[in-house]
Amino acid sequence: MTSPRVEIDLGKIEANARYLVRRLCACRISVTGVTKAVCGHPDIAEAMLDGGVAGLADARIKNVIRMRKAGITCPISMIRAPMLSEMEDVIQYCDASYNTEMDTILKLGAAAKQQSTSHDVILMVEMGDMREGILPENLTDFATRVTATAGVALKGIAANFACMSNVAPMGGDMVRLSRLAAQVERGCGPFVELVSGGGSANLPWALGENSSGRVNNLRLGEAILLGTDPVTGQPIAGLHTDAFALFAEVIETKAKPRAIPTKSAASELGNLKLVRNDDGKARAILSIGQQDTDTSGLTFPSGVLFIGATSDHTVVDSTNSAVSVGSEMKIGLNYSALMRAMSAPDVVKAIRGKQRMNGSARDGETRPFLALI
């Protein structure tokens, strides 16, 4: 098959979603499947839905449109605050959006009225991640203004954790979020239907023994796709961690000398500059680089050690692994590497399992899919 490519096992993605949905359902917490890392790939979105997620969320309107054009009709939320330049599309293709700016909400309301519809708004609260969010002390006043805006409806509140700060939320954070939901209800009247406590980093809390309070939703991407905890990078018990695999072809294998003296082009004196001392070990070069993925987030087979990468080459120490030119190397990906590979137009996406074919699902086939970005 063509390489580089990402092979995607839809069955394992569906199984991960089903396991998490079942476990969280017992805690009265629904799951929103986040598709941004896979560019809104319709087959992967369907696998999440087959696993029981209540809806989908993405950060880019093009991804949402891609899923809608593929025939996906479930509720989809814009998980990143909409840009003013995309108001009409957000109203047309998204059921809800996460927001922090009143100017944006006013524009959403105006666009919704033009389309003779109403748009649900979820307010993001700043609770320590220091990315997007309304300060808690301003939340009730902000929510009151939203309820007075024509064309939009206040659906809920949400918080973000472990995205910028890489600090996992604690039970006390969820208690505070629950109290904020009650505070909003007292201040402006409407029932807060959705209290979204964050993403995959919240699973240790959600699956623990503490009460979930008012928190009734998690937005899960990494846990469903990769089966890993975003904070620790460790596997989550009960989940598949190999639903995605990157394959790259070997284009060179050579034993390099200990050190090759080279002249520095920047030095008028012609001083010698030594490259890294690899003690004459064998090197293999793979036909993939920083333009295709985050090479720092790759996991290589046993016996293969990462040396370095440029835009279109990845160099590994293959002394303890038998590789040959033309062979392929199977490589694991973390979340960052997955995002880059899925958005790279030169990396083929090969689907295994049930997939959409002209609006219908077919089982047991492998179909290459080239992402059009």
Q: Are residues 192 and 316 in the same domain?
A: no
Q: Are residues 176 and 217 in the same domain?
A: yes
Among residues 64, 139, 154, 159, the alpha carbon closest in space to that of 108 is found at: 154
Among residues 347, 129, 332, 314, the alpha carbon closest in space to that of 233 is found at: 332
If you average pLDDT over each of 209-218, 274-283, 309-318, which comes out highest? 309-318
pLDDT band at 256 (very low <50, low <70, confident <90, very high): confident
- For residues 155 and 285, give the distance between their C-alpha atoms in angstroms, rounded to a whole number: 52
Q: Is residue 28 a part of any domain in this protein? A: yes
Q: Are residues 220 and 320 in the same domain?
A: no
Q: Using one digit for the tens of pLDDT, what is the confidence trace for 183-215? A: 999 999 889 999 999 999 999 999 988 888 999
Question: Is the pLDDT reported for residue 5 higher than 70?
Answer: yes
Q: What's the CATH number where 201 sits?
A: 3.20.20.10
pLDDT band at 356 (very low <50, low <70, confident <90, very high): low
Q: Are residues 257 and 333 in the same domain?
A: yes
| Number of domains observed in the structure of the chain | 2
Segment among 33-42, 278-287, 307-316, 327-336 with least mean pLDDT: 278-287
Domain enclosing residue 357, as ranges? 244-370
Share of the chain above pLDDT 70, in %: 89
Among residues 24, 148, 11, the alpha carbon closest in space to that of 121 is found at: 148
Q: What's the CATH number where 306 sits?
A: 2.40.37
Taking residues 123-131, report their average pLDDT: 94
Share of the chain above pLDDT 90, in %: 81
Position 122: which residue type? Answer: I
Q: Are residues 178 and 254 in the same domain?
A: no
Q: Are residues 212 and 254 in the same domain?
A: no
Segment among 49-63, 94-108, 162-176, 322-336 with least mean pLDDT: 162-176
HEC sequence for 300-328 = CCCCCEEEEECCCCEEEECCCCCCCCCCE
Q: What is the pLDDT of residue 249?
A: 98
Which of 168, 192, 226 delimits the end of a domain? 226
Which of 157, 192, 226 delimits the end of a domain? 226
Question: Is the pLDDT reported for residue 260 higher than 70?
Answer: no
Pairing of strands 261-263, 272-274: antiparallel
3-state secondary structure of 51: coil
What's the alpha-carbon Rg for the chain, to the nearest Å? 24
Q: Is residue 236 a part of any domain in this protein? A: no
Q: Is residue 174 a part of any domain in this protein? A: yes
Q: Are residues 37 and 179 in the same domain?
A: yes
Residue pair 214/177 in contact by the 8 Å Cβ criterion: yes
- For residues 144 and 138, give the distance between their C-alpha atoms in angstroms, rounded to a whole number: 10
**Which residues is 299 bridged to in the sheet?**
332
Angle, CA 96 vertex, CA 94 and CA 100 arms, to 5°: 120
Question: Is the pLDDT reported for residue 355 higher than 70?
Answer: no
Q: Are residues 76 and 143 in the same domain?
A: yes
